[in-house]
């Protein structure tokens, strides 16, 4: 048989060989580094036997799939260590993830001290160097095998597989786990790992199931790579919006209010209001007209839109159908409401496009396990818009929506932090969607063509479309590497039919419009979390809750400080004066900790000469300036939304 390697080299073998044996034949060094293989592009275990002509890549930890195999094996070592130390613990699942791996256990919660003890046991297991051996069992035998081991979660996983399935397991010494692989040849190949944290996680992600204990960890091929990652993780913790947002009094949460219902504090409100006014003004410049629609509606509205069939579980429903009560639901989106604004009168083709915009408060019944700070909440506010357009206007208007999104991201300094994803339907599950396969193919091809004309690099994700249309999702990762959708632009050729929307065309006939659903900047809460983490709380001046702090050197100069403060406020600058009886050094340090961009120190010389001594996070001590010149400069910075580079870390 002929094996074509990644570099184009062709190797010939007379008998079937495992991927590992082929790696060993190429070089011992490669075999030692190998973690998995890719046969004709499909990732396989090192033990996989190759018995026919194919292309073969030997994967190492330098390859994403190879690193995943290393991390997956480390998760098995974690599971064995937990079972050794806590024999009553039950095993759930333990996959590799982008940042490392995790394993879920039905067990006690684990403290940092517990994790350290588990790490110590893992090192013992690695030193023992047990080989990982793969074996299979028929489904019935696999169920009996796991029942005998008293592993109910593994039994449940196997029972969900087809009757004729052949189930694979991996053993490492006396420890055995249900797994499809791939895995390393031996635990001894694990050289650099760390357990990061422990938290709760619902079995299979559903709050209807039992809460399990999840241990997160990471692993790398080399210790220096692990060291770099852990240093990055420490930096991420400093930027974590959940921590920093509370420290800066931007938001808080309270158990009696409810999970996923953050309380936005005055500092946070100032930032959100500033963003909202800016976005609304920009939308108005771009021809949007504003609506204001109810926060709830009768069930009937959502039946027409088909959200009742496709999205009811994600809605907060008020009333009981079984008691013949009139049933309402808090709105999870604004589109059906704006459609009736459109339908209030008959429209001509000359009136289109109609661009409706609304700053909408929405409600979605997210799973408890998904709640996180400001990024995943149950009530949020969004810069929502719906464009009612003729079919011949699709490309121009879609490009306009992308341009608006790019303008918002560029102004906020976020444009380099995103990727673009075209979210498609799943043709194997067509009952989830409105419309026919032909219609979906048409609208998806249209979006591909438009994105090609714009020149956007994008990936495609099958099954991520909404039930009424494909969408362009603009994605970003938080400081821990978790990806979320920040901005969405969606092309919909289905809902106009359900709502009987029409326009009178040039020929006098009624036609169905197309609809673009879009956000200009996405959800304000999620964007706020993004900004906190991007800037580590050091927001551009125009967004800062407090832009200037006036610092009198002593009580004698409070009157002058008050005059400075008043003049700043007259010019729309958010500021305050620190009139406490504290030393000036203390006041400066506190203003720095509160991440205020400018401090104006005033004393005898400043009062006498009518100036201020400027200190900034950008240049440090900027010296004395006239108040007018300082105001001119900061007002220009605020007006242009300048993002200044921090040259001095105060």
Q: Which residues are part of a known binding site? A: 335, 386, 517
Q: Pick left, alpha or beta for residue 577 (phi over 0 → left; psi -120 to 50 → alpha; otherwise beta).
A: beta
Q: What residues contact residue 607 under an 8 Å CB cut-off, 6+ apart?
A: 557, 560
CA distance 71 to 217: 9
CB 147 within 8 A of CB 157: no
Nearest to 60 by CA among 95, 35, 94, 82: 35
Would you state the structure tokens that stand for residue 605, as one six-digit string?
């010389």
The DSSP code for 47 is T
* Integer Cα distance of 308 and 179 in angstroms: 38
Angle at which helices 112-128 and 64-85 cross, to 10°: 110
**Calpha distance 564→602 (Å, rounded):** 9
CB contact at 8 A, 548 and 522: no
> Which whole-number Å values give the CA distances from 214 to 38, 77, 84, 482, in the listed order?
30, 15, 17, 16
∠ CA 540-541-547, rounded to 5°: 145
> Measured on CA atoms in the order 577, 583, 585, 587, is the torsion positive or negative?
negative
Buried b (16+ CB within 10 A) or exposed e, 523-556: bbbbbbbbbbbbbbbbbbbbbbbbbbbbbbbeee
| Token output for 569 | 């406020």
232: which 2 tokens?
A: 């990055």
Terminal alpha carbon distance of the chain: 66
Task: Spell out a b/e string for 304-340, using b for 16 or more CB atoms within 10 Å of the CB, else e.
Answer: bbbbbebbeeebebeeeeeeeeebbbbbbbbbbbbbe
Residues recorded for the chain: 650
Tokens of 370: 């998904």
CA neighbor of 191 nearest in space, from 19, 26, 35 = 35
Residue 15 DSSP label: S
Triad 476, 481, 484: Cα angle to 5°: 35
DSSP secondary structure string, 575-588?
EEE--SSS-HHHHH
Known binding positions for Zn(2+): 335, 386, 517
Q: What torsion, rounded to 10 degrees, do the Cα atoms 62, 64, 68, 74 define?
A: 30
3-state secondary structure of 530: helix
280 contacts 357 by C-beta, under 8 angstroms: yes
Degrees (nearest 5) of the Cα angle 344, 384, 458?
Answer: 125
């Amino acid at each position: 048989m002929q094996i074509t390697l990644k570099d184009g080299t062709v190797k010939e073998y007379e008998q079937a060989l495992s991927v590992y044996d082929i790696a060993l034949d190429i070089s011992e060094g490669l075999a030692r580094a190998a973690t998995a293989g890719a046969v004709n592009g499909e990732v396989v275990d090192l033990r996989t036997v190759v018995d026919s002509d194919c292309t073969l890549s030997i994967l190492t930890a330098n390859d994403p799939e190879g690193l995943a195999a290393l991390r997956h094996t480390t998760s098995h070592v974690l599971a064995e260590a937990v079972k050794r130390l806590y024999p009553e613990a039950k095993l759930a699942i333990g996959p590799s993830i982008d940042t490392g791996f995790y394993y879920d256990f039905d067990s006690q919660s684990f403290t940092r001290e517990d994790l350290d003890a588990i790490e110590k046991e893992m090192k013992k297991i690695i030193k023992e160097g047990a080989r990982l051996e793969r074996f299979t069992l028929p489904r019935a035998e696999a169920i009996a095998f796991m029942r005998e081991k008293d592993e109910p979660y593994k039994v449940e996983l196997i029972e969900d597989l087809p009757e004729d399935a052949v189930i694979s397991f991996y053993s490492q010494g006396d420890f055995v786990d249900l797994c499809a692989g791939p895995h390393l040849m031996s635990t001894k190949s694990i050289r650099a790992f760390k357990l990061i944290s422990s938290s709760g996680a619902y079995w299979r992600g559903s709050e209807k199931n039992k809460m399990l204990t999840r241990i997160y960890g990471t692993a790398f091929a080399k210790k220096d790579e692990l060291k770099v990652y852990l240093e990055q993780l420490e930096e991420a913790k400093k930027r974590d919006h959940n921590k920093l947002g509370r420290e800066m009094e931007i938001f808080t949460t309270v158990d009696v209010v409810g999970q996923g219902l953050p309380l936005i504090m005055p500092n946070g409100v100032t930032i959100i209001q500033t963003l909202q006014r800016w976005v609304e003004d920009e939308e108005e410049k771009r021809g949007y007209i504003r609506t204001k629609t109810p926060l709830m509606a009768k069930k009937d509205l959502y039946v027409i839109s088909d959200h009742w069939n496709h999205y009811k579980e994600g809605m907060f429903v008020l009333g009981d159908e079984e008691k013949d009560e009139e049933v309402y639901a808090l709105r999870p989106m604004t589109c059906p409401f704006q459609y009736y604004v459109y339908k209030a009168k008959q429209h001509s083709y000359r009136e289109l496009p109609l661009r409706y915009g609304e700053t909408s408060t929405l409600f979605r019944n997210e799973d408890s396990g998904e709640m996180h700070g400001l990024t995943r909440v149950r009530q949020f506010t969004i810069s929502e818009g719906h464009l009612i357009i003729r079919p011949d206007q699709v490309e121009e208007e879609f490009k306009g929506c992308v341009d608006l999104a790019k303008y918002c991201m560029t102004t906020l300094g976020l444009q380099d932090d995103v990727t673009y994803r075209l979210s498609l339907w799943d043709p194997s599950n067509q009952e989830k969607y409105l419309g026919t396969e032909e219609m979906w193919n048409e609208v998806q091809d249209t979006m591909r063509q438009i994105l090609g004309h714009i020149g956007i690099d994008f990936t495609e994700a099958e099954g991520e479309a909404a039930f009424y249309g494909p969408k362009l999702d603009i994605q970003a990762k938080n400081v821990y590497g978790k990806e979320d959708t920040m901005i969405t632009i969606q092309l919909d050729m289905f809902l106009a039919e359900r709502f009987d929307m029409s326009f009178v065309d040039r020929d006098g006939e009624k036609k169905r419009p197309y609809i673009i659903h879009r956000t200009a900047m996405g959800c304000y809460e999620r964007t706020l979390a993004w900004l906190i983490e991007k800037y580590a709380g050091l927001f551009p001046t125009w967004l800062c809750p407090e832009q200037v702090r006036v610092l009198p050197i002593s009580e004698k100069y409070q009157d002058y400080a008050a005059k400075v403060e008043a003049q700043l406020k007259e010019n729309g600058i958010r500021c305050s004066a620190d009139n406490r009886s504290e030393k000036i050094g203390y006041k400066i340090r506190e203003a720095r900790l509160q991440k205020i961009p400018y401090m104006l120190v005033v004393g005898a010389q400043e009062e006498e000469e009518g100036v201020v001594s400027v200190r900034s996070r950008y240049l440090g001590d900027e010296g004395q300036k006239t108040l007018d010149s300082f105001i001119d400069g900061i007002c220009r910075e605020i007006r242009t939304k300048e993002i200044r580079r921090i040259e001095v870390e105060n």
